Amino acid sequence: MNEVATELTEEFRSALLGVHAYCGCDTTSAFKEKGHIKPIKLMEKMPRTVAPIAALEITCTVADEVVDELDIFTCVMYGNSRTDSVDKLRFPKKRRSVMIAQMRQRM
């Protein structure tokens, strides 16, 4: 484990704690079926997200730019790299589920 830790930058090590803060623990994950491995691998592929996630380890109050980066990170984590807002990603899914529920009620 020490060998792995020495290969990581200080910022990336801080970001690992930030991933835990952002994603939650293993038993109560904040993101359905994502765990910690996927976000960590995603940070390796998207180095620009390391600093915003590392900022979560330092403070609970974050700048708007950090929130924007976390939105993009979350969208990519759910497989949508073209959307930059979690709200934009969730709205069509929510609308579709409401429409299906309404159709079932009419039956």
Type of residue at 76: V
Per-residue pLDDT tens digits for 14-33: 888 888 888 877 666 667 76
Q: Show pLDDT as tens, one digit a residue, over the chain (107 residues).
A: 455 557 788 888 888 888 888 887 766 666 776 777 888 898 999 999 898 888 887 777 888 988 899 999 988 988 888 888 888 888 887 888 888 988 888 87
Q: Can you give the pTM of this predicted structure?
A: 0.66
Sequence-distant (6+) residues with CB within 8 A of 19 are 36, 39, 40, 43, 53
Query: What one-character-per-residue DSSP string does 42-62 give?
Result: HHHH-GGGHHHHHHHHH-S--
Cα–Cα distance measured from residue 36 to residue 29, given in angstroms and rounded to the nearest whole number:
9
Type of residue at 41: K
How much is the pLDDT for 39?
87
